[in-house]
Amino acid sequence: MPRLSPRLFDPITVGGLTVPHRLWVAPMCQYSSVDGMPGEWHLVHLGSFAIGRAGLIMTEAAAVSPIGRITPDDAGIWNDDHTAGWRRVVDFVHGMDGLIGIQLSHAGRKASTYPPTRGRGSVPASEGGWTTVGPSAVAWGPFTPPVELDREGIARIVAEFGDAAARSVEAGFDLVEIHAAHGYLLGQFLSPTSNLRTDEYGGDVAGRSRIVREVVEAVRARVPSEMPVVLRVSASEWVPGGVTVDDTIAALHLIDGVDLVSVSSGGNNPDQAIPSGPGYQQPLSRAVRAAIDAPVGVAGLITTPEQAEAALGAEDTDVVYVARQFLREPTFALRAAAALGGELAWPWQYNRAKYVESIP
């Protein structure tokens, strides 16, 4: 059987960073931190993807402040101890010739919630919860309504993103991603269903995207010019009156300083009707890719090497993010290379277990 010439294993340059291939690990919350600290779990969890030769590994959402955590068990990067904790992970990944990026996040009105092991809903102060903030005092479904941010509060959060970016550089990360998707704070500002403001941070697309522009500018100012800055967006809210892909494209045209756009969807409204299925987000990434100058990435139930390769071949994306399949199979990139005819060097310690051409 003739071998393909897979695009999945072509290198890609994003900003000043060349990544050896286009199969990347998507950010996935682990709910395994104490006071925001990455620990042994993160070292082994993320390190396994480096052993498996993922093109680039993304951390879970790392909160830029204590009240920016989704749950009390979330990771963070708001102090110097966190910087040192992440440095251990980064050093291991680099020691395996891998690349790693950090996702900077603030959960806004979706913060102070229970981790999956403890149920759902808002965590009260008596159990370690806190007062949440948002663009408007509009709750996400059954969660406790947030306090509407004033201009001083917005400026503080913008500065916290900048400080977190500086710590990310100190920790040695290769890339920073700004999380403006899945109904977290920046995504809340982008949506007319959660942002009811009438000042300069609300109203039309230009107003609703103002804080995102300011965050990108603050992050860009605190990282080296060659370091890629990625923006993750929910391109569709999947509810009537919510964000559409056209709104997302309009916002992206107003935002400077982004080297790659990671396209996702949903998360800002419990009434969302997501047409879930393999590749369900690729029509969104295809539309965004056609409308902007920067490369794009996409995730969404991509579980086989052939799916990943087809997404690139269809011009839907420039990078394929994979989440659950990497959890099932940390060496997914090695298997994909064997299946598609790509070239990846195995860790020498694993050479005796190399995938062979007889893989089904």
Q: How far apart are alpha carbons 326 and 332 in whole angstroms?
A: 6
Q: How far apart are alpha carbons 181 and 321 in whole angstroms?
A: 15
Tell me whether residue 280 is one of the annotated catalytic residues.
Answer: no
Q: What's the one-letter identity of residue 106? A: H
Q: Which of 31, 184, 201, 321 is catalytic?
A: 184
Q: How far apart are alpha carbons 127 and 125 in whole angstroms?
A: 5
Torsion on CA atoms 292, 296, 300, 303, rounded to nearest 10: 140
Q: How far apart are alpha carbons 146 and 129 in whole angstroms?
A: 13
| DSSP of 255-287 | --S-SEEEEE---S-TT-----STTTTHHHHHH
CB proximity list for 186: less than 8 A, separation 6 or greater = 106, 108, 178, 179, 180, 211, 212, 215
Provide φ and ψ at 14, rounded to 5°: -120, 115
**Active-site residue set:** 184
